[in-house]
A and B are shown apart, each in its own frame.
Chain A
């Protein structure tokens, strides 16, 4: 390769490398382990971390614990140790939550483990209700004793009817608890779990329901007996009996159950009538002139199970009726999430049988994790805003509010991607870094093209010799043999030739004569800059030869190459002496005497004149 192209090629290569580095400086992606992490044969453990110590041993232990807990809690309910039962239940709830999280973390929701988790959650919910209803039933027991002692048949009836509602609830809970036992036991057996305590809890819950039924029967008989022997209650106010009727006996969400109560007796008009569902006062009103009270029970927030209903006027109670609420599948959907920076707005609608489901609790799941609950508005709509860190997520809705007669429902998943927010500061930094690279390399390129090759100074003032002159240290001792500046000589800056034009004019254009070069030489000598003074002479000769003999790329020539070029020239002898002297001073750091300087100038002048003659 022609050597004059070599620097160009190298600079181009370096420029390319530099540009490439500059382009990737702010976010280098030349090599990161993630770029080479995928393999069908193995995961790269270097990119991952050791997983927390969730193991099958722990999971199986937790599963067994969840099964055992049921037995403990139900047994404590049976022996009426509600305080201990509450504590056990609280622990069980914690265990269930831990297990749920574990299942989500390990992405086991769709497995038998996930199924076990769902059964456990349902078991806990049923046991919690069983505890609450039994506590209430136990509280009624003290009232029964009190009213019996007071021989108050009206109050005793009231308590007995409330107990009737609780009995139905407890029996329903027991039935539901029993209903899922076979599937839950099968799962437990599959994982070699000990199911005996769980099965015991099922049996105890059944016994509890039976006991409540028997107790209710006794209470009712006592109330009837007391009523027969006690005088009529003043609260009845002429009402002898109350009857109630409902239609239909089975309904689902959004449907209406028409309830009618009749008062029989001497004075039935305008009487206060209360309607009870599961021992809770559901509605109240007054009878019309015929002693009739009508009520439209719209099935909304009521559990999907069997319920009891009765009406009461004063101390007079109607017979107890049963009705059933069945569950149906709701329509639950989420709109495409709207993203604004890290904030993601989720909107959706929950309806069932064409009617909005208001006041229901729903959850938004982000990658399977529950976020805070959202309550639907009266029109069934919901809205919540989540703050998500950069990444890709799957967002879906979950409805599991069992206080509504609606089946659990999950929406389809919506993908959401939250990107990195580019701050203005980082953007400016990136631009500045890139710009700095560009400027540096551009400067390099400009300097290269302006000054060619060969170790020449890059940055010059208008007068190149003036710049070179200042490169000498001020406190450097005066070189021996050099003529000191004349007394009264003006300062250097003023005495510098500083001809119009710049370095290009000085070195590239043959505008300056031999005398001009000698004048520069002398001035630099006066300034004590011997090295650059002789170099200026050499450059003059080199340029003059280059232009005279049309030497290509003459600026790259070394003194020896220049000397070789002039081998057959008549001034070869003078040039030889000049080059020798130049090298002695320039490279050999020799300090010439005044005579030697004059000789050097003589050889220079002779050579320069001869070249000029050749040029002519």
Chain B
């Protein structure tokens, strides 16, 4: 026999189910490269790995001097670097440390210029006939899904032959470690075609520069670290490249300038609640009390 009570219970279940996506929505972010973004364009998987490796988040660039023999990872920076920060990074490198900067459309050039590097990120989508993504339904190819080829062995490129990039830019200067094939071009108008003012040529995607006793590496695409790229099951060697980058005795991760540190709205509060045991217990107790009261008052 169907009763009002059963309808109420069913209604409550439906509402609860409807609230699950809301909760998921509030406890994650969709911002590009964000460490709490669990979707295809976030870096939650990378940061899970970084936490497992005991990577040190850097929230003040002056802190990096305190980690000699370390490697600093700056991914997709979008906040400007002050001259003092650029000097700090240079001093860090001169001290024999390593910096890996992965950027395409961000503020990486500000840092490179500020620290006196000769490497530059060139504007415009780097595209290539050597591509790895297409849409079989439309038959459309995606030339900005570029396959790069390792040109020189280095500590970062050891065991790596090909690198799958996702909308990279081209690099200028430094010692090239990896580049594209000759059938590549800078797609200045982003129409995914080669136009009259765009011509084929080889472009660098990974370059190295010695700075004092240290090394600066610039990778022209931070997208290789996003979840959907990390999860790609491909014959190319992105996994090995990322492993090479992360394999450091002491790994520092920039959280000052990087898009990976993006947190917005009530997300920090919810994340705090989710990650703090006492708050979890309180929330569960509150929910239990509410349910008990509802039963006691014969509402449920």
Chain A interface residues (CB < 8 Å from chain B): 3, 6-7, 10-11, 13-14, 17-18, 31, 33, 36-37, 39-52, 54-57, 59-60, 105-108, 110-113, 190-192, 367, 391, 444, 447-448, 451-459, 471, 558
Contacts and interface: CB of A to CB of B under 8 A. Distances in A.
Contact of A391 (B5, B138, B228): B138
Nearest to A191: B182
B135 A49 contact: yes
Contacts of A31: 21
Contacts of A13: 11, 14-15, 18
A7 B193 contact: no
A106 B15 contact: no
Contact of A41 (B12, B17, B223): B223
Contacts of A453: 4
A50 B7 contact: no
Interface stretch (B60-68, B115-123, B142-150): B142-150
A51 B10 contact: no
11 contacts: A7-B299, A10-B12, A41-B41, A41-B167, A42-B166, A44-B40, A45-B229, A55-B129, A107-B143, A455-B298, A457-B3
A66 B151 CA distance: 28
Contact of A6 (B1, B133, B299): B299
B228 A44 contact: yes
A247 B43 CA distance: 78
Contact of A48 (B142, B199, B222): B142
Contacts of A455: 3-5, 298
Contacts of B234: 50
Given A55-B129, A107-B192, A110-B195, A448 B4 contact: yes
B129 A45 contact: no
A56 B11 contact: no
Interface in B7-50: 7-8, 10-12, 14-15, 17-18, 21, 30, 32-33, 39-41
B91 interface: no
Interface string B207-223: 00000000000000011
Nearest to A444: B7
Contacts of A33: 40
B18 A17 contact: yes
B182 A41 contact: no
B183 interface: yes
Contacts of A60: 182-183
A453 B298 CA distance: 11
Nearest to B229: A45
A79 to B, nearest CB: 36
Interface string B184-199: 1000000011111001
Given A17-B18, A111-B200, A51 B133 contact: yes
A46 B200 contact: no
B4 A7 contact: yes
B185 to A, nearest CB: 8
Given A52-B134, A110-B194, A45 B228 contact: yes
A36 B135 CA distance: 16
A120 B165 CA distance: 32
B56 interface: no
A48 B132 CA distance: 10
A112 B104 contact: no
A11 B2 CA distance: 15
Interface residues of B, number: 65
Given A41-B105, A111-B193, 6 more contacts: A7-B7, A40-B167, A47-B135, A108-B129, A451-B4, A455-B298
B208 to A, nearest CB: 24
Contacts of A391: 138
A581 to B, nearest CB: 21
Contacts of A190: 200
Contacts of B181: 55-57
Contacts of A48: 133-135, 142, 145
B133 A10 contact: no
Q: Which 4 A-B pairs have the closest CB atoms?
A: A14-B11, A56-B181, A111-B194, A56-B183
A40 B41 CA distance: 11
A14 B166 CA distance: 43
Contacts of B105: 40-41
Contacts of A47: 135
B131 interface: yes
B170 to A, nearest CB: 16
B139 interface: yes
A256 B242 CA distance: 73
B84 interface: no
Nearest to A458: B2
Contacts of A54: 129
A471 B145 CA distance: 68
A41 B32 contact: yes
A17 B10 CA distance: 12
A610 B181 CA distance: 100
Contacts of A458: 1-4
B136 interface: yes
- Among B33, B139, B199, the one with the most A-chain Cβ atoms within 10 Å of its Cβ is B139
A107 B133 contact: no
A43 B144 CA distance: 8
Nearest to B129: A56
A191 B8 CA distance: 73
Contacts of A56: 128-130, 181-184
B232 interface: yes
A405 to B, nearest CB: 29
B93 interface: no
A244 B143 CA distance: 61
Contacts of A111: 193-194, 200
B180 to A, nearest CB: 8
Given A7-B8, A17-B18, A59-B183, A51 B193 contact: no
A108 to B, nearest CB: 6
Contact of B139 (A37, A59, A105): A105
A438 B210 CA distance: 71
Contacts of A7: 4, 7-8, 11, 299
A389 to B, nearest CB: 10
A42 B41 contact: yes
